[in-house]
Amino acid sequence: DTGVSQDPRHKITKRGQNVTFRCDPISEHNRLYWYRQTLGQGPEFLTYFQNEAQLEKSRLLSDRFSAERPKGSFSTLEIQRTEQGDSAMYLCASSPWGRQGMNTEAFFGQGTRLTVV
Amino acid sequence: AQSVTQPDIHITVSEGASLELRCNYSYGATPYLFWYVQSPGQGLQLLLKYFSGDTLVQGIKGFEAEFKRSQSSFNLRKPSVHWSDAAEYFCAVVPPGSNTGKLIFGQGTTLQVKP
């Protein structure tokens, strides 16, 4: 078990470009979450998947954002036409919710730091 | 409004001194409660969690937290702080009745440790 893996760790992009981030969860975890963290703030929920189904999206997730988890394993988060306000740390977490009972926790990856210039 | 509050944005303690980080929540019932730690540029590591039962919870790295229903609090404590404890600490909840597992975080407390 190598934990939750995110790639890339850092991304610098020009305003208007598209970017895609990848998250590989812990293999037996059925739930996968994306959070965004801006400087000096706590992480904020963006969206989550149960297996391949995207079950909830935050209002923070504008139509420029799209997330997928095509086979219920890894997930991608794409941001189209990036804006400077998208600069943040994007965190992925996974959880075996429901498989070990309701009393469980999420395990986080190290995040992808996005800087839009 | 339902929320998680960490009243202290920044705390400085001397190495070897005791530490208490405050967390308050405002929900109609008791949520699931968590403390995470984040080192600069890193992801979050779970220190401890409370779902039910004994209100004093032991975690990793010598941390403990006490749930107090009457005060809607879940404060994190450590008897003797080490320089390596300098980091950002986040209190988080899964709201009561939630079946999504999504976490609601406080704004965080930055801990600085003086030698």
Q: Does the CA dihedral A45-A19-B44-A92 come out positive or negative?
A: positive
A42–B90 CB contact, under 8 Å: yes
| Residue of B52, B100, B102, B107 to mutate for A, most A C-beta atoms under 10 A | B102
Instruction: Quickly state the pLDDT bin for A104 (edges 50, 70, 90).
Output: confident
Instruction: Quickly state the pLDDT bin for A103 (edges 50, 70, 90).
Output: low
Share of chain A above pLDDT 70, in %: 94
Q: Which amino acid is at B52?
A: S
Enumerate residues 6+ apart whose C-beta is below 8 A from B42.
A110, A111
Please give the angle made by the CA atoms of A2, B64 and B68, to the nearest 5 degrees. Answer: 125
CA distance A36 to chain B (A): 11
Q: Is A6 exposed, middle or buried (0-12, 13-18, 19+ CB in 10 A)?
A: buried
Q: What is the pLDDT of residues B75-110, one digit of tens each?
A: 999 999 999 999 999 999 999 888 888 999 999 999
CB atoms within 10 A of CB A110: 20
pLDDT above 80 (res A97): no
pLDDT above 80 (res A2): no
Q: Give the Cα separation of A13 and B25 in Å (integer).
A: 38
Q: Which amino acid is at B67?
A: F
Q: What is the mean pLDDT of residues A16-30?
A: 95
Radius of gyration of chain A (CA): 14
Q: Does A74 touch chain B (CB under 8 A)?
A: no
Report pLDDT for A100. Answer: 55
Q: What is the mean pLDDT of residues A7-29?
A: 96
pLDDT above 80 (res A66): yes
Q: Give the Cα separation of A15 and B34 in Å (integer).
A: 36
Are B93 and B4 a contacting pair, CB within 8 Å? yes
Helices and strands of chain A, counted as H and E runs: 0, 11
